[in-house]
Each structure stands twice: as C-alpha cells, then as structure tokens.
Amino acid sequence: MSLLDYFRTKKTAQTAQTAKERLQIIVAHERGQRDGPEYLPAMKQDIIDVIRKYVPIDSDSVNVNLDNKTDDLSVLELNITLPENAE
C-alpha cells in the first residue's frame, strides 16, 4: 500500500459516511411526508391560491402542518410569511 492509497481510503470512507447520513435524512423526511393525508398538498395549494387573490406571496412562504393529537383530535397549523410591503 502506498502513501496515496492511505489518504484515498480515508476520504472514500468519509464520503460514504456523509452520503449515508444524507440518505437517512432524506428517508426520514419522506416518511414524515408519507404519514400525512393525501389531501394536504391540494389543500395547501388551494390556500395559496386564495391568499394570492389579495396578497402576492411565494409558495415557499406558506407552511402547512397537520398534527394528530389523538384519534379524535387533529390540529391544522398554517404559517404564512407575508411580504413587508403587502397592501
């Protein structure tokens, strides 16, 4: 084994570990999205369309979360960042 092989092996292992961690984050995010109801993205788009009738906003400025507290109770949380110069 040459001296260059020693450095290459370390870098490859670090790169593989970084890729593994990123993949775990992506999988966890997708699982969180999968647990939500199917109608939530359509509802978010409808809410954005209604708000855009009155205020110009970006789609990224709207955050919709559905939290199931119990079997009988769900909480819909809607966070909207309005522009500073909204008239």
* 13-46 pLDDT, tens digit each: 677 788 888 888 877 766 665 656 677 788 888 8
Angle at 42 between CA 73 and CA 55, to 5 degrees: 100
Residue 86 confidence (pLDDT) above 70: no
Percentage of residues of the chain with pLDDT beyond 90: 0
Q: What is the pLDDT of residue 75?
A: 84
DSSP assignment of 38-49 equals TTHHHHHHHHHH
Residue 5 has pLDDT above 80, yes or no: no
Cα–Cα distances in angstroms (integers) from residue 80 to residues 29, 44, 50, 76, in the given order: 21, 11, 12, 13
Fold classified for 38-87? Cell Cycle; Chain A (3.30.1070)
Please give the mean pLDDT across all residues of the chain.
Answer: 76
